[in-house]
Amino acid sequence: MPTLPPLLDMIRALIAIPSISSANPELNQGNRAVIDLLANWLGDAGFSVDIMSLPGKPARANLIATLGSGPGGLVLSGHADTVPYDEGQWRHDPFTLTEQDQRLYGLGTSDMKAFLALAVEVGRHVRDTDLKEPLILLATADEETSMAGARALVAHDAPHARHAIIGEPTGLRPVRMHKGVFMEAIHLQGHSGHSSDPSLGNNALEAMHEVIGTLLAWRRELQAKYRDPLFAIPVPTLNLGHIHGGDSPNRICPECELHIDLRPLPGMDIDELRGELRDRIRKTMQDTGIKTTFGALFDGIPAMSTPAEAAIVRLVERLTGHAAEAVAFGTEGPYLRQLGMDTVILGPGDIDQAHQPDEYLALARLEPTVDLLRQVVNKVCISGRRLL
Active site residues: 81, 143
Q: Which of 345, 296, 385, 359 is nearest to 85 (CA)?
A: 359
C-beta of 355: minimal distance to Zn ion in Å?
9
C-beta of 143: minimal distance to Zn ion in Å?
6
- When the beta carbons of 145 and 288 are compared against Zn ion, the nearer one is 145
- When the beta carbons of 15 and 273 are compared against Zn ion, the nearer one is 15
- Closest residue to Zn ion: CB criterion: 111
- When the beta carbons of 17 and 112 are compared against Zn ion, the nearer one is 112
- When the beta carbons of 45 and 114 are compared against Zn ion, the nearer one is 114
- Please spell the DSSP secondary structure of 151-220, one letter per residue: HHHHHHT----SEEEE--SSTT--EEEE--EEEEEEEEE-B--BTT-GGG-B-HHHHHHHHHHHHHHHHH
Q: Give the long-range contacts of residues 294-299, CB within 8 A, separation 24 or more.
A: 294/184, 294/185, 294/186, 294/187, 295/184, 295/185, 295/187, 296/182, 296/183, 296/184, 296/185, 297/183, 297/184, 297/185, 297/259, 298/181, 298/182, 298/183, 298/261, 299/146, 299/182
Using CB under 5 A as the binding rule, the residues of this chain from 98 to 127 that contact Zn ion are 111-112
- Please spell the DSSP secondary structure of 221-284, one letter per residue: HHHHH---TTSSS-S-EEEEEEEEE-S-TTB---EEEEEEEEEPPTT--HHHHHHHHHHHHHHH
Report the SS3 class of residue 1.
coil
C-beta of 290: minimal distance to Zn ion in Å?
41
DSSP label at residue 20: B
C-beta of 278: minimal distance to Zn ion in Å?
30
- When the beta carbons of 111 and 255 are compared against Zn ion, the nearer one is 111
- When the beta carbons of 168 and 184 are compared against Zn ion, the nearer one is 168
Q: Give the type of residue at 159.
A: P
Residue 359 interacts with Zn ion (CB under 5 A): yes or no: no
Residues in the chain: 388
Q: Per-residue contact track with Zn ion, 167 to 196, x per CB under 5 A?
A: -x----------------------------
In the chain, the N- to C-terminal Cα span, in Å, equals: 31
C-beta of 331: minimal distance to Zn ion in Å?
7
C-beta of 144: minimal distance to Zn ion in Å?
7
Using CB under 5 A, count the residues that bind Zn ion. Answer: 3
Instruction: Give CA–CA dist 360/97, Å, rounded.
Output: 9
Q: Per-residue contact track with Zn ion, 133 to 172, x per CB under 5 A?
A: -----------------------------------x----
> Which parts of this chain interact with Zn ion (CB under 5 A)?
111-112, 168
